[in-house]
Structures are given as structure tokens and as C-alpha cells.
Structure 1
Amino acid sequence: MAVQPEGAPCWADAMFSDVEGAKSFYGDVLGWTFGESSSEYGNYTQAYADGKAVAAVVPPMPGQEGQSQWCLYLASADASATAAKIREHGGELLMEPMQVGEFGSMCLAREPSGAVFGVWQAGTHEGFETMGTPGAYAWCEVFTREPEKADAFFSAVFGYRQHRLEGEEMDFRLYDLGDRPLLGRLRMTDDFPPEVPSYVNVYFTVPDCDDAVAKATKLGAVLRSSPMTTPFGRFAALTDPQGADLSVIDVDTTEGEMPTTTEV
């Protein structure tokens, strides 16, 4: 795939204390295969779906052991310039911009309401080689307890337009750059345990949501939200055996009409 436009989701990875366990879990649930780990880059190991790069897993760096979490990267033409915007608009840099060999440049940040995300400036590694296909990235949503902060920040840094979903009980917005929705933003309600911080929830595509949930829970995942069919697909929310939250979605199984949106 070509390099994604500024602000578009372009890559995802996660740190796992038990990398082999993660490879086994995601291999069974999402059908991933894995490349050779790169010792030069902290044993970073790329995952593939049908031979195309879709994500990566890596052991934690010293001092970063703990619960795993998927990190979504947003595309940037200049990671240093994006980092400056992040600071300017109240975000926190967790990792300063750094060059990753010939692959590209990156930084890690936390937006003002608490969700962590990455920024990726492509070099030879352009990001996802496929999206919306079985095993690949499908969608993402910022889950936040302070949506006003997240809305202001992401629009200021990446220039997103925002659309509110009409007729929905939940507080949900779509962020886009004018041609297509890029990610969603959901206000976290009391349904979320108080200890759960704001985070970015990544959806991976599966051919059958119920089958993926059955495989995942058999392997020790926790089902957070039972499979439900929507106009966007049939999806469910899970926490993997090492604590990383994710959702799985069958984009071909849909029900109902697409909701209307209003620009805000």
C-alpha cells in the first residue's frame, strides 16, 4: 500500500512479556504468521496476514514491563514537526522523535485525556500492507473519559474534521480528513471500570466474529463485549491473555442502516 496521508492510521504494535505466547494467541485467533525477530531493534517481530505485514510484537524494554496494550501509529510526513504540535497543544511526548534505521522515524505520545498513540514517518517501512482483509487492521477508536480534550487535541494536531453520530445514545464522533472516516472517538461511561484509563482501541478483521471470539476465549482471553451486528459489521471486544485490549470485526456481516452524521 502507498504511504498513508497525514493523520491516517498506518501501523500497530504491542509489547508482550511473553512474545511467544502472543505469537501463539494471535496466530490462532487472527491467522498471523511471523517474520524473524530483529535483535538490532529490540527483537521487534513483524506479523503477517496472507503474506502481508499487518502489525508487530516486541518484548518490553527494561523498566517497561507490565500490562500489554496495542499502540496505534498515525502517519506523519515529519515526525519532529508533529511532535512539536503535540507539545504545543497539550500532549506529552513519551518517546522523543527517533530514527529507526532506514525504516522511518517515530515518536510516542499521550494526548491530554490520557490515550497513548504513536507517530510514524515512513521510510522503507510504509506501514500496513493491507487493511480490512482477514487478520489485518480494520478500524480504531479513541476511548476517553474527557472527550472535549481529545477532540480539541486531535483536530489541532492532525487537522481532523469531526462528525457526530445522530440518533445514538452514546457520545461518539468520527474524525476524518474529508474523504473518509479515519478513526472514532467514544466517551467512556460507567460501564468501564474506573481504573481503566483512556486508550486507543484497535479493531482487527476476521472472517467470522463468533468463531474468533470462541478461539480467543478458549485461549484465555476475556470477552468484554459480546458479538453484536451493526451497519459497520459484527464485532466484539476482548482483552487478550496478557492484558491487551482489542476488538475483532467481521466487516461482511452487517445489519441496519448506516447512521447519519452531522459535522461539528
Structure 2
Amino acid sequence: MGQQPSTPQPGKQLRVIGAGLSRTGTASFSAALGLLLDGPVYHGGTQTTLGDPIEIKSWIRIIRLWLNPSPQDNESARSMMKDRLDGYVAVTDSPGGQFTPELLELYPDAIVICTVRDPHAWFKSMGQTAGLATLWFLRVVLLPLPGMRHFTEYIKALTAQWVRVYGKDWPSVELYHQHIEWLKEVVPEERLVFFDVKEGWAPLCKALGKEIPADIPFPRLNDSAAIDRVAQYHVRRGLVRWAAGLAVVGVVAGYTWWA
């Protein structure tokens, strides 16, 4: 997960489709792309949880339309997807990675870069994310928040997307390998690059035809810490709003009783 939501810049064209699974260094990858391509990057996890409410609501709608077998709904999903990504130089993280075939149709000149890591380490890391997303009290706590009140609904949509693409709804080492093979099937070989953020600038710059930035270290962002911070931030906001709302109700009730 990235650190702050990005703002689109008019005239910027999408040049990279980040097809790596969440928790494969997508935050560091996004920051690096932003520097190399000189523009905003749409990191799905960040935009949907920290961006305007329209972000998370739009992707729920896009996934639902895409799941529908109707050609008209599928076309509407593509149109909405293009609107969301207008003004960005790259898209990374979910749900974009699972929309790679659709994004290739929308952006025929873009290349696909899949961030990779040790599958077992990825599986362990994903357990943390899945656990946070399925906390039973989350729906109630997030209800007062305009965008995040849709978070559990969004997770259900992502789960349905995974079932459609992979035939399963829970992370596993097997699914990690399945994702890699799926990309090899749906992306032309000459447009598919695999990249481990541990390797730093050199392979990424080579794939993009860019010079290695002078005196700029490769971004090293901690996805785990970022997810923890975002989760704590929203839970805290939700609880504060619940407390404020209950306090107002208490004051009104007390006044009514006194009157």
C-alpha cells in the first residue's frame, strides 16, 4: 500500500500496467514508477482506502459490471475503468492486476510489469491483510466514514474477482504461481516483465528504457507498516465519529427529558 493517494494530471497517459499481486512491493514499485515516468501512479490499495469516496465506490461498480455476462455491462466496466485511470502514468496493485487483459485492450501501448517476491513470504504477508479485512466489527466501526463504510462491500467484490480469475478466493502459494502462469497466457511475451523490488533501479530502468536516477535511492516503502497505519487510522476515525454521534444523542435525550 502506498503512503498518500495520487492526483491525476491532465494529459498524462497510462504507460505501465502493474500486474503484481498485492504485497509484492507494489508501494515501492509505485513510488519508483512515479519518479521514472514523471507522473502520478494509481496504487489501488491507497486510492480506494485513502482517496475520495468515489474511488472505492467506482471499483465496486466496475467489478460488478465486469462480473455480469452482458456485453453492454462489460463495456460500461471498461469505460468506467478508463475514467478512473485518466491522468495517471501507471496503475498498480488490486484490482488493476486482475484486470490486466482489459487494461491491455484499453492501453495497447502499455507494458505489463509484474512485481514478484518469494511465494511463501508473500503468503505469510497476505495473511495479515486478509485478517484485517475480515474483522467482524469492521462494518459497524467504519459506518460513519463516507468512503470506508463501503470497505467490506469492496472486499467482497475483490473476492468475487479472484474467484472469476483464479477459481479460488483465498491467498495460497499455489495461487501465487497460478497468477504468474495466468499472466503468461494473457500478456504477449514481449510486453511482460517480471521485477523484484529488491533488485533496485537497474532492471526497472532497463524495462522502461530509462537512465538510472543519479543520487536517488530506490524507494523502500514498508507495505506491512502502511497497512497497519491505515487500518488504525480508519478504525480510530470511525470510533471518534461514533463517540461524537452518541454524545450528541445523549445531550439531545437529556435536554428532552429535562424539558
Query: Which TM-score tier does this pair reach, normalised by the shorter chain?
Result: under 0.3
Q: Which has the higher strand share?
A: 1
TM-score by length of 2: 0.25
Q: Which has the higher helix share?
A: 2
TM-score by length of 1: 0.24
Q: Which structure has the larger Rg over C-alpha atoms?
A: 2
Structure possessing the higher relative contact order (Cα contacts under 8 Å, 6 or more residues apart) = 2
